[in-house]
Structure 1
Amino acid sequence: MTVRDVRTDESLSGVRVLVTGATSGLGRSMAEALADSGARVVITGRDEGRTAQVAEQIDADRGRVGGVAMDVRDERSVAEGVRRTVEGLGGLDVLVNNAGIGMRTVNPEFFTEPRGFWEVTPDGFRDVIDTNLTGYFLVARAVVPTFFAAGGGRIVNISLNEATMIRRGFAPYGPSRAGSEALSRIMAADLREHSVWVNVLLPGGATRTGMIPDGMPQAVSEQMLDPAVMAAPIRWLCSPAADGVTDERIVARDFDAWLRTRTTDPSRVRG
């Protein structure tokens, strides 16, 4: 069953979704929201055992969620992971490109002690770019043949605030996400004629995930967004209501206002 076959916006029954990097944080929250709405979901993570464990937790004996080990930096691992996903689900309707690593990998104290780009090791720089940018390319590249064969599909690329992309001390994380947004625009243009819709989704602020450094002041932590902020927009992007919507940049925190504007302003409809 394809996305277009779903009868109501509230139910995603039959929709098949691959969410990369979903063993924690935003990815897990989105996978939970989709499964709760009836979608069949495959989540990925680098560690096979942990991925299977988290998938079982999200599924809660409903038969909707599975886990596949995948290293998005490795094209062979991606190819195998996508093959297993499509085989297990009997097809694929939506890819949520979420797998990523943050500034903690190159500077554990990035929030309180930002470092200049020249202090980042070349290996650290490459690892972030390979995961956050090249990973999006590799997974999307691997799934589009399935979308072409089905006559359409959807890709949602997860990003972050533009201010973070150029913030002092945020190399290479900021540039990796800026690159993924540019890639998303190109994907949308390249895939439009194939009825494959590509959109960018971001929380709209710092979220309480594993990417936040230890020792964060409680006052700051309390102001951060809950990862559940992604639930409503990701459900919508997988629903019939989003058919034909492409090349949009959706801020989850402002989703309700964005949706109202789109509904009342015909010029916002790009599909």
Structure 2
Amino acid sequence: MTDNDGERADGVRVLITGATRGLGAAMATALLAAGADVVVTGRDQGSADAAAEQLAASGTGRVVGIGMDVRDEGSVERGVHAAVDALGGIDVLVNNAGIGMRTVNPAFLTEPQPFWQVPPDGFRDLVATNLTGYFLVARAVVPHLLEAGTGRIVNVSMNHETMKRAGFVPYGPARAGAEALSRIMAADLDGSGVTVNILLPGGATATGMVPDDVPAAMRAHLLDPSIMGRPIRWLCSAAATGVHDQRIVATEFNDWLSRRSTGAPG
């Protein structure tokens, strides 16, 4: 980040779920460098603490690790209360915790599995993490935001192609559900002072969700998780005040921002 970016987030208190690696860790890195105070969560306290320790050198902001299993209502409630206590409140929730297709089919890119062969337990666990988890965490955080009269939610998603691609059950349906949930959250919170937006990378990313044996030619086209840095900084900055119910693609962010500044459609 350069000094003239104008995308500072000094003192903004951000809770990022699933931030021990991948997109979550990349967003935490960018926000800490922008001066935000960040809580990063993982399914267990050990992984969250390790991530926080590693991220601590990323910038001037403070980082705290909290164990939170987004599939479990009690764990979410305890985690959110711990985050509020640690930061003195929450200004922004970034719903990011998720698992990928490799949890139900390790070879999903080279050997797509039709939906009728997907194990029901694998289906339930992925949906519980990638969709129900977004609901549970937002459900626990929003009362704090409403009490403050202001706040922001950023729900991380993926390309629409993943929602209809052969062999992408249950990942595709879970992401489609999360987008629908985001739009309804935005409608429910319209006029409340709490904004809701969707952020997605714009392509497959070089994270743990991609199989280790992915062909070299395909791996060369994977996006670096840092692609999420600039848009998440902006969404947590004063520049994004009042921005609501938008679907922002990180790879297209500069063009989107340019169109927005000129009042052009789209």
TM range (shorter): over 0.9
- Residue identity opposite 2:47 in structure 1: R
1:14 alignment counterpart: 11
Structure 1 unmatched ranges of 5 or more: 1-7
Match of 2:225 among 227, 237, 240: 227
Match of 1:84 among 79, 82, 101: 82
Contact 1:9 1:240 in 2 (8 A): no
Match of 1:242 among 240, 243, 249: 240
Match of 1:70 among 65, 68, 86: 68
Q: Does 1:44 align with 2:41?
A: yes
Cα deviation digits, residues 130-159 of structure 1 (max 9, x gap): 100000000000001110111110000000
Q: Deviation at 1:10?
A: 3.0
Alignment of 1:21-170 (within 5 A): 21-60=18-57, 64-170=62-168
Q: Does 216-225 or 199-208 show the bigger shift? A: 216-225
Q: Deviation at 1:57?
A: 0.8
Q: Give the SS at the match of 2:173.
A: helix
Q: Deviation at 1:9?
A: 3.6
d(CA) in 2 for partners of 1:172 and 1:223?
24
Instruction: Provide the TM-score with structure 1 as the length reference.
Output: 0.94
Deviation >6 Å, runs of 4+? none
2:206 alignment counterpart: 208
Match of 1:188 among 179, 186, 189: 186
Q: Does 91-100 or 56-65 show the bigger shift? A: 56-65
- Residue identity opposite 1:155 in structure 2: I
- Residue identity opposite 2:172 in structure 1: G
Match of 2:197 among 178, 196, 199: 199
Contact 2:36 2:61 in 1 (8 A): no
Match of 2:263 among 254, 262, 265: 265
- Residue identity opposite 2:18 in structure 1: G
Q: Give the SS at the match of 1:135.
A: helix
Identity percentage over the alignment?
64
Q: Deviation at 1:266?
A: 6.3
Contact 1:22 1:99 in 2 (8 A): yes
Contact 1:48 1:68 in 2 (8 A): yes
d(CA) in 2 for partners of 1:64 and 1:149?
24
d(CA) in 2 for partners of 1:46 and 1:15?
24
Shift of the 108–16 alpha-carbon distance from structure 1 to 2, 3 Å rule, reads: same
Contact 1:52 1:67 in 2 (8 A): yes
- Residue identity opposite 2:149 in structure 1: G
Shift of the 243–210 alpha-carbon distance from structure 1 to 2, 3 Å rule, reads: same
d(CA) in 1 for partners of 2:210 and 2:138?
27
d(CA) in 2 for partners of 1:186 and 1:132?
16
Q: Give the SS at the match of 2:105.
A: coil
d(CA) in 2 for partners of 1:57 and 1:230?
19
d(CA) in 2 for partners of 1:158 and 1:136?
9
2:172 alignment counterpart: 174
RMSD (CA atoms): 1.3
Q: Give the SS at the match of 2:228.
A: helix
